[in-house]
Structure 1
Amino acid sequence: MSDTFIPGPEAVEIVERENCFRGFYKLDRVHFRHRLFAGGMGPQISRELFVRHDAVCVLPYDPKHDCVVLIEQFRIGALDKSPNPWLLELVAGLIDQDEEPEDVARREAVEEADLTLGALWPISVYYPSPGGSDERVHLFVGRCDSVGAGGVHGLAEEGEDIRVHVLPLEDALAAVRDGRIDNAASIIALQWLALNRAEVRGLWV
């Protein structure tokens, strides 16, 4: 392995990029070569790339009552591999052009959970599946008052049917441990909050 190789955009040669599908989502086929750690260029590789808008996920947290607000909705991706494709998740949405991630977090909290968020605490920006998708997720914890939260929400014109749950943080963490919560953004946010709860509550209570 070469110690002098520093990866960067110039180390990738795009031979061809084909448009395979254009709908709500996009699919491209990319033919490329890239530099090898041992030196020189590797062989041509072809990969399908799922082209998506970046997304925002936010975990509403009530520091006074040490509770989180999660939403439950049907997910087509879980249909064939889960006994229950209604998943417990974070409030989330896609970023439209010229939107700030914080604005998306606040808008989606109102639409999906009828919640008004206070301060937003950035957790991370990450790729959920970079082997085949270019999506990046902006992840937040959002301060909220969970008293009275609940019910069914969502935008009918988008086919949303979203049930709101208020859980003590310890119960949500137990749901991560036993596999009831099995989606990446929720696991990351809840585990982050478990590690940083004292600091967050110290500033927000």
Structure 2
Amino acid sequence: MTGRPGVDIPDHRGRTGLHLAGRDLKRNPDVRIRDVELTSQGWHVLRRTTFDYRRRDGRWETLQRETYDRGNGAVVLPYDTERGCVLLIRQFRYPAYVNGHPDGMLIEAAAGLLDADDPHTAIRREGAEELGILLGPLTHVLDAYMSPGSVTERLHFFAAPYTPADRVDAGGGVEEEGEDIEVLELDFDEALAMTLDGRITDGKTLLLLHWAALHGPFAPQQNASRASVRVG
């Protein structure tokens, strides 16, 4: 009998047991996992899970949900308050292109999958690869599920200061992984305006820029504090 890649024999990434994810979940007494099927495994994994769910009125029903598992990720907003700017990237995103974006070239905050690293290590790696900078001290902003109806990914959000002296190379991503990334240094006020007029439509980037304006390094109280330091 021929084995099934990703199930009982290694797939192209050396993985087995991909059909086992979620089978032992018992944290919610109103959810009982019946079966997990591996429907596709490329670089990431698509599963169909059958489970019983107890509704609020006490009735049980059997449901199926497909989940796309691409691992967890991290994203960072590098900022320079002295010059009033932030570092973002622009790259082609086919899913956005096929779903109505004019050219698929999205302006985003630098991000990447954790792979085997912790979030802090992963985002420093992405800062070097995509932006070509060594990030300063990381501020953890929040963690969020960006598309919880179908994608399992939990994204770790960070912000970090940088200066021109922190640049180590031109960035641009890893060519062997198909990355072709343009680094953008933008005035913060302009970047914020781009979130309102449709030039920036990436969810994680919208969240970080508005956080920076309301609670982060460009918040009014932070600007007032810096001004008082300069006056003093």
For the criterion TM > 0.5, the same-fold answer is: yes
Between the aligned partners of 1:162 and 1:121, the Cα distance in structure 2 is 24
Query: Which has the bigger relative contact order, CA under 8 A and spacing at least 6?
Result: 1
Identical counterparts, % of pairs: 36
The alpha-carbon deviation at position 18 of structure 1 amounts to 0.3
Report matched runs for 1:93-132 at 5 Å.
Answer: 93-97=112-116, 99-132=117-150
Runs of 4+ in 1 over 3 A off after TM superposition: 146-152, 198-203
User: 1:72-102 deviations in whole A, cap 9, x for unaligned?
Assistant: 11111112121020110011110112x1101
Q: Is the 8 A contact 1:152 1:161 kept in 2?
A: no
Q: Give how far 1:40 is off.
A: 3.3
1:47 corresponds in structure 2 to: 65
Indicate how the Cα distance of structure 1 residues 50 and 200 shifts in structure 2: closer, same or farther if over 3 A, else same: farther
Post-superposition Cα deviations, 1:149-172, rounded to whole Å, max 9, x if no partner, equal: 695611111111111111111000
Show the counterpart of 2:105. 86
Choose from 56, 62, 65 the match for 1:37.
56
Q: Per the alignment, in what secondary structure is the counterpart of residue 84 of structure 1?
A: coil
Aligned twin of 2:213? 194
Quick one: distance in 1 between partners of 2:139 and 2:56?
38
| Aligned mate of 1:70, from 73, 88, 91 | 88
**Quick one: which amino acid aligns to residue 88 of structure 1?**
I
Q: Which amino acid aligns with 2:91?
A: Q
Of 146-155 and 24-33, deviating more is 146-155
CA drift at 1:10: 2.0
Listed one character per residue, the Cα deviations across residues 134-153 of structure 1 (whole Å, up to 9, x for unaligned) are 11000111111147969561
TM-score of the aligned structures, taking structure 1 as reference length: 0.88
Highest CA radius of gyration, 1 or 2?
2
1:168 aligned residue: 187
Is the counterpart of residue 139 in structure 1 residue 157 in structure 2?
yes
State how far apart, in whole Å, the 2-side matches of 1:159 and 1:52 are.
17
Q: State the secondary structure of the residue aligned to 2:101.
A: coil
With over 3 angstroms needed to count, the CA separation of the structure-2 counterparts of 1:200 and 1:137, relative to structure 1, is farther
The secondary structure found in structure 1 opposite 2:29 is: helix
1:11 maps onto 2:11 in alignment:
no
Corresponding pairs, count: 195
Q: Which runs of 5+ in 2 are unaligned?
A: 1-26
**Structure 1: runs of 5+ lacking an equivalent:** 1-7
Counterpart-to-counterpart distance in 1, 2:72 and 2:188:
27
Alignment of 1:141-160 (within 5 A): 141-146=159-164, 153-160=172-179
Q: What CA RMSD, in Å, does the superposition of the two structures yield over aligned residues? A: 2.0
Map Cα deviations across residues 86-129 of structure 1 (whole Å, 9 max, x no partner): 110011110112x1101111110110010111011111101001
TM-score (norm 2): 0.78
Partner-residue secondary structure (3-state), 1:137: strand
